[in-house]
């Protein structure tokens, strides 16, 4: 059974052991908790019909929370380099999911996380990954819980080792800074999708109070159709977003209808392959900016395109 936090050894931020992971230099360790000879309930699948498959693993449990200082980072941008480092370090990924595919709200609160403000989780945008490898004295397990807010990205690492002492420091922050989405305003849409995994379709216009995309020639849709045509193995999701005006259910429905309108225009006018597209809506759950200002609300009303292909 997981012991109370009061029994844990809490190490102040900055007291790094050192590294399995190479975080970007704009990352800061927020908290580290070390629990000798303890257990951790490892999620092994999605939350479905009131249940989530788990495996209880035992050993030296180490948890760290890292905050990456850059606005509007994507969870894909956060996890992709860490996933690659895991594979290079002989870990085998045993489970991975994203937001609603994990089980949404229920999954998020079924996973052990360190508390805010050190770890912040946007329930509308998170990813979870579990991995294992053969250690010197038995199997080692490692999980990543990544999420983002409008201001920063957050990564929680949970490492369970059969050893009594950490075989190596968990992480350091010496890699090149992780560039926030939008930092390259002149980057082409295809470059944003390949490098960041996401792009805002910033030139779209909807009729007032309507989910119908206004008539016009949209450069972003033409570029997206060309990208899909030249990379037929790619699949993408069009995701609608709203500001915080009104109720959540109504905003989710409106945002999904707007995304669907964009999908239909891509297919009917720009010749995109429907099989490469899907439409979803997040309502106001994943803001880019503050909803307290008109400029922020305008930025939050948008349709994004997100790469959903899984091949590296």
DSSP string, the chain: -PPPGGGSEEEPTT-----SEEEETTEEEEEEEEEEEEEEEEE-S--BTTB--EEEEEEEEEEEEEEE--TT--HHHHHHHHHHHHHHTT-EEEEEEEHHHHTHHHHHHHS--PPTTTS---TTSEEEEEEEEEETTEEEEEEEEEEE-SS-EEEEEEEEESSSS-SS--EEEEEPPPPPTTS-TT--HHHHHHHTSEEE-TT--B-TT-SSBPSS--HHHHHHHHHHHH-TT--EEEEEE--SSS-HHHHHHHHHHHHHHHHHHHHHTT---GGGEEEEE-TTSS-SS-TTSHHHHHHHSEEEEEE-----
CA distance to 152, 194, 211, 227, per residue, from 274 (Å): 34, 20, 19, 14
Q: Are residues 237 and 116 in the same domain?
A: no
Co-location of 266 and 167 in the same domain = no
Q: Decide if 312 is inside a domain.
A: no
Q: Does residue 224 lie within any of the structural domains?
A: yes
Task: Examine residue 241 and state whether it is found in any structural domain, yes or no.
Answer: yes
Spatial distance between the Cα atoms of 185 and 232, rounded to a whole number of angstroms: 26
The residues near 92 (Cβ < 8 Å, ≥ 6 apart) are: 131, 132, 133
Cα–Cα separations (whole angstroms), residue 188 to 80, 185, 304, 306: 20, 8, 14, 15
- Closest alpha carbon to 128 in 91, 84, 79, 90: 79
Are 51 and 11 in the same domain? yes
**Residue range(s) defining the domain that contains residue 43:** 5-175
Q: Same domain, yes or no, for 134 and 230?
A: no
**How many whole angstroms separate alpha carbon 11 and alpha carbon 14?**
8
Quick one: pLDDT at residue 179? 63
Are 149 and 290 in contact by the 8 Å Cβ rule? The answer is no
How many domains in the chain? Answer: 2
Last residue of a domain, one of 112, 144, 175: 175
156 shares a domain with 194: no
| Co-location of 149 and 233 in the same domain | no
Q: Does residue 302 share a domain with residue 215?
A: yes
Identify the domain boundary among 134, 152, 175: 175
Q: Are residues 165 and 286 in the same domain?
A: no
Per-residue pLDDT of the chain (312 residues; tens, 9 = 90+): 333 333 343 333 333 333 478 898 889 999 999 999 899 999 999 999 899 999 999 999 999 999 998 766 778 778 888 988 998 889 999 999 988 889 988 999 999 999 988 999 988 889 999 999 998 889 999 999 999 887 788 999 999 999 877 657 789 888 877 765 444 444 688 888 887 788 889 888 876 567 888 888 888 999 999 999 999 999 999 999 988 888 999 999 999 999 999 999 999 999 999 999 999 999 988 887 778 877 778 878 889 999 998 665
* pTM more than 0.75: no
149 shares a domain with 98: yes
pLDDT score at 186: 45
């Amino acid at each position: 059974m997981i012991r109370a936090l009061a029994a844990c050894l809490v190490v102040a931020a900055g007291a790094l052991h050192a590294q399995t992971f190479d975080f970007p230099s704009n990352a800061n360790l927020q908290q580290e908790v070390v629990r000798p000879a303890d257990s951790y309930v490892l999620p092994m699948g999605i939350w479905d019909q009131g249940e989530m498959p788990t495996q209880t693993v035992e050993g030296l449990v180490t948890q760290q929370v890292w905050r990456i200082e850059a606005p509007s980072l994507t969870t894909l941008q956060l996890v992709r380099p860490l996933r690659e480092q895991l594979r290079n370090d002989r870990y085998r990924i045993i489970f991975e999911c994203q937001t609603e595919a994990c089980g949404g709200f229920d999954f998020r609160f079924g996973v052990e996380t360190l508390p805010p403000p050190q770890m912040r989780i946007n329930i509308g945008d998170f990813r979870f990954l579990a991995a294992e490898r053969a250690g010197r004295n038995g199997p080692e397990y490692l999980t990543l819980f990544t999420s983002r807010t409008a201001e920063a990205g957050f990564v929680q690492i949970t490492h369970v080792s059969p050893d009594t002492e950490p075989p190596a420091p968990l992480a350091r922050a010496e890699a090149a800074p992780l560039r926030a989405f939008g930092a390259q305003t002149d980057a082409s849409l295809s470059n944003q999708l390949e490098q960041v995994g996401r792009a805002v379709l910033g030139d779209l216009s909807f009729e007032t109070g309507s989910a119908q995309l206004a008539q016009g020639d949209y450069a972003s849709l033409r570029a997206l159709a060309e990208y899909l045509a030249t990379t037929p193995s790619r699949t993408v999701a069009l995701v609608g977003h709203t500001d915080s005006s009104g109720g959540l259910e109504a905003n989710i429905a409106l945002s999904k209808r707007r995304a669907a309108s964009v999908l239909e225009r891509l297919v009917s006018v720009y010749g995109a392959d429907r099989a490469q597209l899907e439409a979803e809506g997040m309502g106001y759950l994943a803001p880019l900016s503050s909803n307290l200002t008109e400029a922020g609300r305008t930025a939050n009303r948008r349709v994004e395109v997100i790469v959903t292909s899984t091949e590296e």
